[in-house]
Structure 1
């Protein structure tokens, strides 16, 4: 209920604050109207009406721009400051309602009605309960916000008058002026109680949440501070112990990590390991393990690649310079470079060079690396039988290290080197794992972009590595591994090719290696040809190089001792340097003979001719094979005799002949193991010749497998076999019809002077081989 008495007193519109009854506060005023209102009230009763502005930015507020419920306050003190600012101290007396502004100039003169609290009929017990509830709630607030002060809590605990208590509590709450205005406008005790309690509980909750956040922030800051202090103490202790290099190592690793060009996943892993390294004692064995691991990761070329030389003409020139022949290999490498230039990247092929020892497989890989300007890494797999050699050891083992592939990348320093996997057919397996199976992932272009090494434990991209593998024989390479590689056969060199290689490469190389000059040491072409035919027997040129080196060393001694100023080696004086000839060519027979046929064989050092001899003698029908033959050749002999028995009638062989005679097949050079499917028609021809007494032409050689029905099946190694036939003086060679396409690929130099007869059946073979045609 409002009193009807209207008071006219000066008024000040407050910006951003509310004064409650019983509250003592000071504030600054600077607006002219407000200063004049203060001056007027000081001349009258020192009473002033204070009401909060609704919009704090408004400079000249009217009656509608301020809250109508305000407070009549007494001005206690006025202090004039600089810049026309006045600071006043006031005490709130009672609530009042603004009716209107009687004047707005030169100061605000308000018409106000003091507010009288309406009677609610609250019992003393209810008021006591309210008092106690407010005091307890404020006590909780003081618990979560100790800055409120214990003295104030004590004062509030002594106040039993409910209105006074609520005003005292409201005055000391750090809430916004809008919230305080709600308390000011609450006329009944119950309404004011509800507003105050809601504010108190809200403040308790906000303060509790704020304290929790502050506690977490403080804990984090304290932890960082603690770590810093402990780290500094550790640094000082290590300096005292002479171990101050640990921290500097970690700093160096961090600098290297910052400069590392790698994916974020890799960097995060290295950062984690560096942090672990910092916390490990320098004398701990784990420190050395972690140090090695970090250094390995930092040294790997994660995203570092070299730029390939795209000049096709330059690559061709280098390959021609370094190697004579090997046309297929050179052609394939130039194709790869052309594809790489067109696609700007292109998948690196996985090439396997298969051929006899000494044919230049390893050296051509080095030449390809030079032609493409790639880093060259050679990994020898001969005798490797531990899977960890490929995939690396797990870090849990003592002495763990990455696999050979990762070490190869580490030494190359780039992620796209040329990696030579030498002797891939010489790997073996044991209880430690299958090495060939470990290579399956490496040599699969669809999988090797995320190769996982057990030691590194991070995916490594091998897709840009140019893999070249070498092998002496395909038989030693497991089938799944063979399927992942592109095979290029490096065949034996002809004598002409060996002569070119010796003259253009080996002679100059050995002259320089033995300290001689070009004009001091010369070897004639005739002498080189004699060395090739009489002092070496091989598919490659390693033995040839050793023989030339042997001559060069003897020449160097002669020149050094002053016996001669120059050494010219010819056919005449070759024996002086190399001694007697070591090999003589197994030439064809001069006369046609019964039961003797010349066959052709492939060996690891090139082609060779085999003379197969058959004797027939009275006996009990026994069949004997000698000459250290393998299972395949024994089966071919059995097949041949079965075929002869089936066609015996065509050659007038009596039916009881095979029960009354023994047949003995022998291949000379019994100490040399012989096996393979290429001697079937040779043995059948020799047996039929011996049984029928028909001579076989001495100038014919043959190769091919036989079936029970007398069909001739294709074979391999034709280039080497034809070369051996030519060197032995053979004029006519019987070759399976299905090998015709292979013969077409052989150079004319080898085929020149040979009559090659393509055969499909034994009848065709016999027509060529027998001196007299059988009806």
Structure 2
């Protein structure tokens, strides 16, 4: 895996915007602390390493050739509240706690131990999974970021003791230097990160990898391994993962499998080799293709976001004429999604003149997921309207947007992630609120249709406009 790791930023696939953002923040004479957000396996750590190597070559930065890059995992950072040990910030080994190496224990002299923040002085301190760090340790790190040094204290320290070495006196009197740039990486959403830490850092977002990105990563890895393979191999691998790291792992497994089965021969990876490795690992396709050419009555594709990934919501509705009818929706759905059903009822009555109290209506989200927020409102409205009127809905188009009582389509969050999810599901079109269009940051391989009202949605998604 180390051999296949990208050795230049040109080899990092699908993260051009993130690379530029990191370089712009490190290229300044006053580089910023940074938090990197994104799903696992998309290149956050590798990008930070390579961007730092580029920054060291720029005259505008305070970095120099020997500037350190200190890397640590936030999930494994340990520390003791008594300050007996703290590998990140440094600690004081008092005589009673000096353990097996008791250089100063007999003379009663406390011994300061430098931490990683001091080793990173003049360079970068990279903390992977920074959101998993102990909250108290995070607050201590914030203090170091402000002071740019670590202070040591001990009740055993006597500044008048002539036996105390000069370097220990200097550490107690002046502290240890810790002027570094912090880069933290996390798979958590920004809301889950310490607000005080976020306020001190610039934020860079890494994008989910598309199928084409995964295929390019597989092709690049094959070049490094100097192997040939069936043309279908990159496509097959891209169906089973959205992580670059995982894609390389699958290829490496298939490479080893081919070497073992064809000993003495030049390795060549067939699609059967890859499928056998996938079968042995019990992998399942990451994305399912939902799009279909023909329309359906009462079925609509909405969009949702989980973490940094967009996904499809299969929303279906049925309606039966009945006096004093009722509306039923998933019990597991969120309250805001349930409110969207009642908003939809009012909008449909205004559009068609039909009173949905004359119908028994059942709305279902396949899989029974909890829809957090109102962003499925437009999709729910279309599903109910289709069920009542019998008009077919396009099955190659996905929708996101909140519905208001006046039939307006209101903006929602995570629009880029939702567009990405629609692409992975095979959709040809995606309908988004017009107020979100400025948030779309690149040319996606899908037709994006901005709308302001439910009438505009119906013109696009129904086979016949209402």
Q: Same fold (TM over 0.5)?
A: yes
Unmatched 5+ residue regions in structure 2? 1-5, 57-64, 100-109, 155-170
Query: Relative to structure 1, is the Cα distance of residues 379 and 337 closer, same or farther in structure 2, using a 3 angstrom cutoff?
Result: closer
Q: 2:353 aligns with which of 637, 640, 652?
A: 652
Query: Relative to structure 1, is the Cα distance of residues 347 and 698 closer, same or farther in structure 2, using a 3 angstrom cutoff?
Result: same
Query: Relative to structure 1, is the Cα distance of residues 360 and 570 closer, same or farther in structure 2, using a 3 angstrom cutoff?
Result: same
Name 2:228's counterpart in structure 1: 522
Name 2:275's counterpart in structure 1: 575
1:359 CA displacement: 0.7
Query: Relative to structure 1, is the Cα distance of residues 366 and 645 closer, same or farther in structure 2, using a 3 angstrom cutoff?
Result: same
* Matched ranges for 1:318-717 at <5 A: 319-336=8-25, 338-339=27-28, 346-371=29-54, 372=56, 373=65, 374-382=67-75, 389=86, 399=97, 406-409=114-117, 412=119, 415-429=121-135, 434-443=136-145, 447-452=146-151, 458-463=174-179, 465-472=180-187, 473-504=189-220, 506-507=221-222, 511=225, 518=226, 521-533=227-239, 536-538=240-242, 540-560=243-263, 562=264, 565-571=265-271, 574-579=274-279, 582-583=284-285, 585-604=288-307, 606-617=309-320, 618=322, 621-626=325-330, 628-629=332-333, 631=334, 634-645=335-346, 648-654=349-355, 657-658=356-357, 661-670=359-368, 674-717=371-414
Name 1:116's counterpart in structure 2: none
| 1-structure distance, mates of 2:233, 2:379 | 36
Query: Relative to structure 1, is the Cα distance of residues 570 and 581 closer, same or farther in structure 2, using a 3 angstrom cutoff?
Result: farther
Question: Does structure 1 residue 768 correspond to structure 2 residue 460?
Answer: yes
| 1-structure distance, mates of 2:269, 2:130 | 40
Query: 1:403-458: per-residue Cα shift (whole Å, max 9, x none)?
Result: xx952145x4x6212111211222354xxxx3443333344xxx232443567654
1:576 CA displacement: 4.4
Higher share of residues assigned helix:
1
Please tell me whether Structure 1 or Structure 2 has the larger radius of gyration of its CA atoms.
1
| 2-structure distance, mates of 1:692, 1:383 | 58
Give the TM-score normalised by structure 1.
Answer: 0.48
Query: Relative to structure 1, is the Cα distance of residues 356 and 370 closer, same or farther in structure 2, using a 3 angstrom cutoff?
Result: same
Residues 621 and 661 in structure 1, CA contact (< 8 A), matched pair in contact too:
yes
Q: RMSD value over aligned CA atoms? A: 3.3
Stretch deviating more after TM superposition (350-359 or 699-708): 699-708
* Matched ranges for 1:72-91 at <5 A: none
| 1-structure distance, mates of 2:463, 2:76 | 52
Q: 1:724 aligns with which of 421, 441, 464?
A: 421
Residues 385 and 435 in structure 1, CA contact (< 8 A), matched pair in contact too:
no
Query: Relative to structure 1, is the Cα distance of residues 461 and 332 closer, same or farther in structure 2, using a 3 angstrom cutoff?
Result: farther
Residues 14 and 207 in structure 2, CA contact (< 8 A), matched pair in contact too:
no
| 2-structure distance, mates of 1:642, 1:575 | 47
Residues 401 and 412 in structure 2, CA contact (< 8 A), matched pair in contact too:
yes
Give the TM-score normalised by structure 2.
Answer: 0.77
Paired positions, count: 412
| 2-structure distance, mates of 1:698, 1:485 | 43
Query: Relative to structure 1, is the Cα distance of residues 662 and 452 closer, same or farther in structure 2, using a 3 angstrom cutoff?
Result: farther
Query: 1:15-49: per-residue Cα shift (whole Å, max 9, x none)?
Result: xxxxxxxxxxxxxxxxxxxxxxxxxxxxxxxxxxx
Unmatched 5+ residue regions in structure 1? 1-316, 340-345, 512-517
1:383 CA displacement: 7.0
